[in-house]
Chains A and B, each alone.
Chain A
Amino acid sequence: MRRWWTWGMVIAGGALMTISYFFLAAPWGEDTVANSDPRLEFAPLLFVIGVIVAFSAAVVYELMPDRTDE
């Protein structure tokens, strides 16, 4: 359970970072006109949220109360 959550958040956070950074933020490449606008507004915010989620995993990992004795 604890592991599930932890890894879940790490992966989710990482995914969010990757996606927002590479696909939702201002596009890369030659298309000069387009790339002044992010594909999705507030994509950078998503990136930051991704960071937060990923690192929060550690908190969850430690704070999650034990259900049953291992």
Chain B
Amino acid sequence: MTKYAMVVDLNRCQGCRACMEACKVENNTAEGVFWMHVFRFETGEFPDTRQSYLPRPCMHCDNAPCVKVCPVGARYKREDGLVLTDFERCIGCRYCELACPYGVNYFNWRKPADSYFLDWGDTDIQAATGGAIPPYRNPDLDEPQGAERRMTAGGGHHKGVMEKCTFCVHRVEKGMLPACVTTCPVAALRFGDVEDAASPVSKFLREHEHFRLLEETGTEPSVFYVGGNPPGSETRQIETIEVGV
């Protein structure tokens, strides 16, 4: 049986946020939505300063609080470990967002068409794109996924439903890697089947010390971090993303 997990090599991460960008383009997420987010951290005082980076996708927890609290079962956990949102069932109560200790949920506060930075209504653009919004619109997102044939978050970006990182389920099911993993210039992100002892990620995890975020909350995340340390009380964020949505 397959169980997908992501391994983040903090010894390599450059904090360049290419993964965030790849995610935004691949999943056509709207302004201010970061299914993948990369923290830039700082501790200590000059000259004994330490800086570090921490990518934060959805943790796809095995004991996912968001799945527990969803009143209508729109947030569900798959056999292969993916935690997804059936955006055709979601009622937009945003309870999952509150239950999640990682802050990975993003609600669609407005109409998708209003949320993509530029005026794609421009007639010359329309002529070239046939009215796709955004113009780099990915058709895979409109297809149901998995044995359940459910519309995983990401598709049409409903107004008023909850969405989050899907581990690029639409790519994974084609045998591809998530967009963030593929684009990472320094291969700091790894993805694969941790049930399969022979898989590269399993091997990598065996060979390296690793931690998971907020393990004390008992969420059993599927995202493992190699190298570095979990953010502590003295950790400061630098170069924060300011979102004007």
Chain A residues packing against B (C-beta within 8 Å): 26, 32-33, 35-38
Contacts and interface: CB of A to CB of B under 8 A. Distances in A.
Interface string B52-80: 00000000001000010010011111110
Given A35-B73, A36-B67, 11 more contacts: A26-B73, A32-B62, A32-B76, A32-B77, A33-B77, A33-B78, A33-B79, A36-B74, A36-B77, A36-B86, A38-B73
B75 A36 contact: yes
Interface of B: 62, 67, 70, 73-79, 86, 148
Interface of B: prevailing SS: loop
B4 to A, nearest CB: 14
B166 to A, nearest CB: 15
Contacts of A33: 76-79, 148
Contacts of B78: 33
A36 to B, nearest CB: 3
A38 B70 CA distance: 13
Contact of A37 (B62, B73, B77, B79): B73
Query: What are the 6 A-B residue pairs with the smallest beta carbon separation, nearest first?
Result: A36-B73, A36-B76, A32-B77, A33-B79, A37-B73, A26-B73
A37 B86 CA distance: 11
B174 to A, nearest CB: 21
21 contacts: A26-B73, A32-B62, A32-B67, A32-B76, A32-B77, A33-B76, A33-B77, A33-B78, A33-B79, A33-B148, A35-B73, A36-B67, A36-B70, A36-B73, A36-B74, A36-B75, A36-B76, A36-B77, A36-B86, A37-B73, A38-B73
